Amino acid sequence: MRGYGVADLDDRTPVTPDDVRFEIGSITKLFTWVAVMMLVEEGRLDLRADVSGYLPTFAMPGSEPLTLAHLMSHRAGFAESYAIFDQDIAALPRAQALAAAAPEQVFARGEVTSYSNWGAALAGHIVEEVSGQPWEDFVQERILDPLGMDETTLAERLRQPDQPPLARSYRIQGGIAHPAFRIDIGAFGPAGGTASTAADMARFLQFLMGDGALDGARLLQTETMAQMRTRLFDDRPHAADMAHGFQARPRFGTMIYGHGGGVNEFISNLVFIPEIGAGVFISQNGGTGASLPFLAPNMILAALAAEAGLEAHTVQPVPDAAARAADAAGRYLTNRRMFSGPAQLLVALSPLNVTALADGALLMPTATIPMPSRFDPIAPDLWQNAQGDRVTVIRDAQGQVARLADGTGAHTHERLRGLADPVWLSAGFALAALLATTTFLGLLWRHGLRGGSRGGTLAAAVALAGAVAVWGLVAAGVAVGLVAARLGSEFLFDQPQRTFEVFLGMGDVVAVVSVALVATLLIVWRAPGWGLWRRLHHTAFALVLVGLAGLMLHWGLAFGGPI
């Protein structure tokens, strides 16, 4: 075990394996899933039973039965819930917080992998309701204490005076480290509230690689531990997926298990290969991206796998690789997103672009390598890059590519078609801005409104109002971008943001003015003194503006409520 760098830039406190804690984010979920399996062993939980039976008074999102198998596999069909980061909601008792932050069900249960922090927190609530103990007490007494993880905290408020301090985390901007904006996810702790030392996480890693016991303390039976490394849904066996809460990724001719985590600018990763007893835990408290915590463990495991004699299977040529790559090429949006309200914009700004090459390979960025990475075909509808990441496409009943499953096992991405592609929103903004500018230029050319009649002047005034509204929207959008770039994750977590509220307000104004502008078309085509080109320009502006308003309504940017 090694520590590198400092835990606090001001005090220059060195990082050591035993004397400083790092927040491990979503790796916390592994404690929740181990707790679930303990109760399964005791016959108190059934992974295939409707969880409403364990929470009879809780209003479950969606109309279909929901099971722990769905939750562990992130296939409950939930939209993202940013409300879990709301500090007022997170401070509520767990049942109330879950109800206040409940997401909508947007996919059929079991069909689509859509990562859900809320779902993991719900599983933690089920653990405490069935066991009769708060989740924190259950995990402390039945997992942490038996494993000797004495320095691990399940929430910062539970830290004891003799436990190591928490490292400070930093956001790197322009090469300068800024103290991270911090949130406490409180009631949603079962999804990501833990902080630990490298030494403690080494013990947890040993337990996960073993047969359910560590140093004489047995937490799970050998059969249960083996079961946790199997998949509850096996519709993509040769690609990455979830296995009882683990991210399970095929590599080196075997399967790598683990989980990543990120919160408050801490980024962590835990991965292991049980058959050779090799695993890596790494955590950083600041950096320029996620590459180090995710690339370094893979490189270490690659060397250890080679030393142990593990080898990837020989790849056979894929006869129709070029046609399949052409099918996969396109634009995708992650299914871990909001499907209503203005928060849809956060994902719409960063679609996944997949390009097909003539030899059947694909080019696309990954979570660890933002530049396009080459994925070569290794089987029908299955591609792999030089780092061992695999992607696959999922087809609908008609054989059309519906979504793409990436190399994490925890995320899928929906294929964009038609007006569902946010590129049309960008095009709408660009056309509206262009026509708003030419409206201003026409005003200058004519030295005023000059409508030729009272009705014509009114129509010209409405067009001017539309132009002002469009450029007000553009200016507010630029301000949002500048503030978001400066604040980083704070922009999302510290809501409401004034600039974003102004942007949404301008979206409402544009939507209202677009209706008024369309209503003036009858006047414009009858008003005296209007030339053909002016009438055509006014008509084009009205139609573009109402089209933009429709797109903004679709993406929640007009009358979509708060983020």
Q: Are 21 and 165 in contact (CB under 8 A)?
A: yes
Q: Which of 382, 416, 450 is the last residue of a domain?
A: 416
What's the half-sphere exposure (Cβ side, CA atoms, 13 Å) at 243? 24
Cα 323 from chain centre? 30
- Which two three-digit tokens encode residue 417? 């078609």
Domain presence at residue 381: yes
Tokens 């109330």, residue located: 96
Q: 21: which DSSP letter?
A: B
Q: Is 265 exposed, middle or buried (0-12, 13-18, 19+ CB in 10 A)?
A: buried
CB atoms within 10 A of CB 125: 25
Pair (135, 29) in one structural domain: yes
Along the 563 residues of the chain, how does pLDDT read in single tens digits? 899 899 999 999 999 999 999 999 999 999 999 999 999 999 999 999 999 999 999 999 999 999 999 999 999 999 999 999 999 999 999 999 999 999 999 999 999 999 999 999 999 999 999 999 999 999 999 999 999 999 999 999 999 999 999 999 999 888 888 899 999 999 999 999 999 999 999 999 999 999 999 999 999 999 999 999 999 998 999 999 999 999 999 998 899 999 999 999 999 999 999 999 999 999 999 876 667 899 899 999 999 999 999 988 788 899 999 999 999 999 999 999 999 999 998 888 889 999 999 999 999 998 887 789 999 999 999 999 988 999 999 999 999 999 999 999 999 999 999 888 999 999 999 999 999 999 999 888 875 677 668 888 899 999 999 999 999 999 999 999 999 888 888 888 888 889 999 999 999 999 999 999 999 999 999 888 888 999 999 999 999 999 999 999 999 999 988 77
Pair (437, 340) in one structural domain: no
Domain presence at residue 314: no
Instruction: Determine the pLDDT at residue 447.
Output: 59
Domain presence at residue 316: no
First to last CA, the chain: 42
Instruction: Determine the pLDDT at residue 412.
Output: 97
Q: Which of 264, 283, 308 is the last residue of a domain?
A: 308
**Percent helix, strand and coil across the chain, each rounded to 5?**
45, 20, 40
Domain presence at residue 493: yes
Pair (269, 122) in one structural domain: yes
Pair (330, 274) in one structural domain: no
Pair (330, 403) in one structural domain: yes
Pair (369, 304) in one structural domain: no
Q: Tell whether the torsion through CA atoms of 428, 429, 435 and 439 is positive or negative.
A: positive
Pair (402, 487) in one structural domain: no
Pair (470, 402) in one structural domain: no
| Whole-number Å distance between alpha carbons of 558 and 337 | 18
Pair (193, 289) in one structural domain: yes
Q: What are the φ and ψ backbone dihedral angles of 392, each rounded to 5 degrees?
A: -140, 155
Pair (32, 140) in one structural domain: yes
Pair (397, 441) in one structural domain: no
Tokens 């000059």, residue located: 450
Instruction: Determine the pLDDT at residue 304.
Output: 94
Instruction: Determine the pLDDT at residue 563.
Output: 72
Pair (56, 98) in one structural domain: yes
Could you tell me which of 383, 375, 393 has the C-alpha nearest to residue 327?
A: 393
Instruction: Determine the pLDDT at residue 183.
Output: 93
Q: Which domain holds residue 167?
A: 6-308
Instruction: Determine the pLDDT at residue 527.
Output: 83
Domains in the chain, number: 3
Rg (CA), the chain: 27
CATH number at residue 56: 3.40.710.10
Q: 202: which DSSP letter?
A: H
Q: Which of 246, 278, 308 is the last residue of a domain?
A: 308
| Whole-number Å distance between alpha carbons of 136 and 28 | 11
